[in-house]
C-alpha cells in the first residue's frame, strides 16, 4: 500500500443472523468483536478504512447500528450498507439510511454509501 496514492482498506463482515449462524457459525458478540478489531487493525495500517456490513438489510437493525457504531468508534472512515441479496425496497432502504444517521454517533464524520444488486 505504500506506493498507493490514496491507500485504503475495505473490510466486509456479515451482520445478518442468517449469515452469522448458517454461513459463519458465530454469535453476534463474536461478529461485533471481529468487526471492531479488524477496523482498528486496518486503521493502524492506513487512514482510509471502509467497512461493509454484508447482508445489512436483513440484519436486525439494533445489531446493525451496534456494529456500525463499533466500527466508527474503531476508526472506519466509510460505511457501506449494501442490500447484498436484493431484499429491501427503495423506501425501506431510505428509512434504514435515515435511522443510521440518527442512531450512529459520529456518522457526520464518515462517508456512508449503499449498493443495490
Helix ranges (H only) for 12-113 are 17-18, 28-45, 61-74, 90-103
Give the per-residue pLDDT at 2.
Answer: 75
Q: What is the mean pLDDT of each run of 10 residues along the chain (117 residues)?
A: 88 97 97 98 96 96 98 98 90 95 97 80
Sequence-distant (6+) residues with CB within 8 A of 85 are 55, 57, 58, 117
Of residues 102, 108, 100, 110, the one with CA closest to residue 75: 110
CA distance 28 to 13: 11
Domains (range + CATH), the chain: 8-113 (3.20.20.70)
Amino acid at each position: 500500500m505504500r506506493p498507493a496514492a490514496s491507500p485504503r482498506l475495505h473490510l466486509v463482515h456479515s451482520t445478518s443472523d442468517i449469515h452469522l449462524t448458517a454461513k459463519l457459525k458465530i454469535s453476534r458478540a463474536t461478529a461485533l468483536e471481529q468487526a471492531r478489531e479488524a477496523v482498528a487493525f486496518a486503521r493502524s495500517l492506513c487512514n482510509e478504512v471502509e467497512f461493509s456490513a454484508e447482508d445489512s438489510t436483513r440484519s436486525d437493525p439494533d445489531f446493525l447500528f451496534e456494529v456500525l457504531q463499533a466500527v466508527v468508534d474503531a476508526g472506519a472512515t466509510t460505511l457501506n450498507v449494501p442490500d447484498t441479496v436484493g431484499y429491501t425496497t427503495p423506501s425501506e432502504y431510505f428509512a434504514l439510511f435515515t435511522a443510521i444517521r440518527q442512531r450512529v454517533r459520529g456518522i457526520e464524520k464518515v462517508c456512508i454509501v449503499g449498493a443495490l444488486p
